[in-house]
Amino acid sequence: MLKIKQVLSAVSFLILNSMASAHEITPTSIAVYIQAQDYEHQIRLRSYSQGYWVSQGPMLETAALEVLGMEFGGVEMCDAKPNESKVLVWLRPSMFYNPQMQTFYGKVTAVTFTADGKPLAKYLGEANKRAFFDVKTDMTLNAVYHAAMQAVSAKMKDDAKFQSALSAPSFSLPCATASMLPESKIKFMSIQ
């Protein structure tokens, strides 16, 4: 009877231990900040007599988490309030549609800071895609933002200053400095 209790307690210990390690928190190396106005204020893309209102924040957030997460790992949005991070990346989106060329033009500006607020670098990623305005517009916009984020990510990987910041020690509460970043003007019709 004593052997059975020991075996059951050993098995339960192993199960609980494996569950705890499965939910282990991965360290955050990059905290991403997108201003609230990019979520709240939609921009209007126009094609002659048609208009399309789009909120840039959610699309850029999805692209940033996927692209930066694949390239660098440990990426978290400031909304999730990461406990520590090595780099803070402030993303600013811009989108424009040219109806004559039937082309979407997207631009992502990434301003990077060390987690204690010291500026590192500024990266610009641009992408365009030919597509009809009224056919699967959301998919086209997502593809343009993904391509622009991939351009930004490639520039980050090539920058030695950024790579050295990723190997530096982490700071606690990296997004606390995000409240001191300047608010950009509200963009009407996607013109900055």
Task: Per residue of the chain (192 residues), give pLDDT as tens.
Answer: 557 666 556 556 556 565 544 444 556 789 999 998 889 888 888 888 888 899 999 999 999 999 999 999 889 999 888 888 899 999 999 999 888 899 999 999 999 998 778 899 999 999 999 988 888 888 999 999 999 999 999 999 999 999 999 988 888 888 887 877 777 665 554 444
* Domain assignment present for 164: yes
* Domain assignment present for 8: no
* Domain assignment present for 111: yes
* Domain assignment present for 170: yes
Partners of 9 in beta bridges: none
Residue 16: phi and psi, rounded to 5, are: -65, -35
- DSSP run (H or E) holding 75: strand 75-77
Supply the DSSP symbol for 183: P
* Domain assignment present for 101: yes
Exposure string for 103-131, b = 16+ CB within 10 A, e = fewer: ebbbbbbbbbbbbeeeebeebebebbeeb
The CATH number of the domain where 102 resides is what?
Answer: 3.40.50
* Domain assignment present for 149: yes
* Domain assignment present for 188: no
Domains of the chain: total: 1
Which residues constitute the domain of residue 172?
Answer: 27-180
